[in-house]
Every structure is written in C-alpha cells, then in structure tokens.
Amino acid sequence: MPIIAIPALMRNLTDGEERVTITGATLREVIDNLEKRYPGTRAKLCDGDRIRPGIGVYINGVITRIGMHERVDADAELHFLPAISGGLTCGT
C-alpha cells in the first residue's frame, strides 16, 4: 500500500502519526481513503475536486502535474508539501 508522509500541521487529524499506509491506485483514491480513515484530511488537501493551490504533491520524489488522476503504485511514497515562496533579496 502507498505510504503517506503526514505534514506536521495535519498530524492532529492522524493522532500524531507521521506516516500512514492507505490503499488507492490514483491520487484521488488515496485522498478519499485517507479521508475515510482520518476525517478532515481532504479539506486540508483539497479545494473542491482539486488539490489546494499552494500544495505540492510528490509521488516517489516527483511532483505530480496531472493532479487527482495521477497513478499511484502500491509501493509509492507520497508527500503533501506547502509551496514555498517569497524570500529576501540581499543587495550590496
């Protein structure tokens, strides 16, 4: 089963679990099954029927470009990471 790394800000929904295994052959199925086991996770990850803007989904270290239709292998590892932007430009 795919392994999902749970972001720190969502661990209150998974009883503190950092990693969980969830069935699913597509990203949609994984998120739906994650929601069934840990209610509230879908609302943190999705906006309607899409991944929330500003959240990157990495499957085996590669960011998905397909979204919810992305295939997920049985031995995959998924990470949901907030996009990082901004920063400070230093001048001389």
What's the predicted TM-score (pTM) here? 0.85
Class of domain 3-82: alpha beta
Q: What is the pLDDT of residues 49-71, one digit of tens each?
A: 999 998 999 999 999 988 999 99
pLDDT of residue 89 exceeding 90, the answer is no
Structure tokens of 60? 């085996």
Which sequence spans correspond to the domains of the chain? 3-82
pLDDT in the model for residue 11: 94
Sign of CA dihedral 47, 26, 19, 38: positive
- Tell me which residue has tokens 């590892």: 77
Q: How many Cβ atoms are within 10 Å of 89's Cβ, its own excluded?
A: 4
Q: How is the beta sheet containing 77-82 ordered, strand by strand?
A: 19-21, 3-5, 77-82, 55-59, 62-63
